[in-house]
Amino acid sequence: MKKIAIYGKGGIGKSTTTSNLSAALAMLGKKVVQIGCDPKADSTINLLHGKQIVPVMDYYREHEEAPGFDEIGAPGFGGVFCIETGGPNPGLGCAGRGIIATFDLIEEMEVFQRIQPDVVLFDVLGDVVCGGFAAPIREGYASDVYIVTSGEKMALYAANNIFKAVENFRDRGYAHVSGIILNRRNVEDEYENVQAFAEPNGLEIIADIPRSGDIIHYENQGMTVVEGAPDLPVSQKYFELARKIIGESC
């Protein structure tokens, strides 16, 4: 079982990337779990055809007892098991606490043992890599980290902070950054800008996802572009990424 954390600046497209990656892996015959680690709880919405599941933290607020297996998540496209951690009410409490509580629940309920996934994907907000948001790295849940970035200055600034945070845990045998996913915004010298960050840090740009209106078109229909049109060039980019991540040749 491969456990992978996808980090990136808020709004950079990491949930779109993660969901399309999950869909591609499922279509390649892999059993996948996707865990959205963001208080917005919208990581898995396009795998669930526009429906939002009840986040774990919302369930805890509404019920005295812990959720059962059927309440912790739901199967989406391709059988991807979708979980959302959620977070506190706005302005109240620590947003990262939802991640920690969900991870504790997953262990207690032996979710991975029950589902037996080939790949677990953690979709993690990367603007602030501290507290609960660092749990996939710090607690050893993920073995590999991939950073989603564009060539924009603030996206690369966040990517550098994420890289440094992961490196701080490297000596403890925790996750390491395995590559950069370029999610294009069509800024000037975009590839060169990302390469200038990646190369000095010994990182490879493992995917170059073009900016595509097809992604938005299918998201407006409540699905990933991989599900809606798997033969499109942009969908094939996600399939290529999926094969690279699991170590299969194209």
pLDDT interval class at 249 (50, 70, 90): low
- Nearest CA to 40 out of 82, 94, 87 is that of 87
pLDDT interval class at 129 (50, 70, 90): low
Q: Which residues are catalytic?
A: 9, 14, 40, 127
pLDDT interval class at 134 (50, 70, 90): confident
Q: Which of 55-64, 183-192, 217-226 has the lowest mean pLDDT?
A: 55-64
Structure tokens at 105: 């629940």
- Give the pLDDT score at 131: 59
- Give the pLDDT score at 168: 81
Q: Are 39 and 98 in contact (CB under 8 A)?
A: yes
pLDDT interval class at 212 (50, 70, 90): very high
- By CB neighbour count within 10 A (0-12 exposed, 13-18 middle, 19+ buried), where does 209 fall? buried
Mean pLDDT of the chain: 90
Structure tokens at 82: 């979708």
Q: Does position 18 have pLDDT exceeding 70, yes or no?
A: yes
- Give the pLDDT score at 86: 86
CA distance 135 to 172: 14
Task: State the distance between the two ends of the chain, measured CA to CA, in whole angstroms.
Answer: 20
Q: Does position 130 have pLDDT exceeding 60, yes or no?
A: no
pLDDT interval class at 159 (50, 70, 90): very high
pTM of the model: 0.93
One-letter amino acid for residue 142 of the chain: A
Domains of the chain as residue ranges with CATH? 2-246 (3.40.50.300)
pLDDT tens digits, one per residue of 74-103: 999 999 999 999 876 655 556 667 788 888
Q: Does position 182 have pLDDT exceeding 70, yes or no?
A: yes
Q: Are 226 and 23 in contact (CB under 8 A)?
A: yes
**Alpha-carbon radius of gyration of the chain:** 17
CA distance 34 to 22: 7
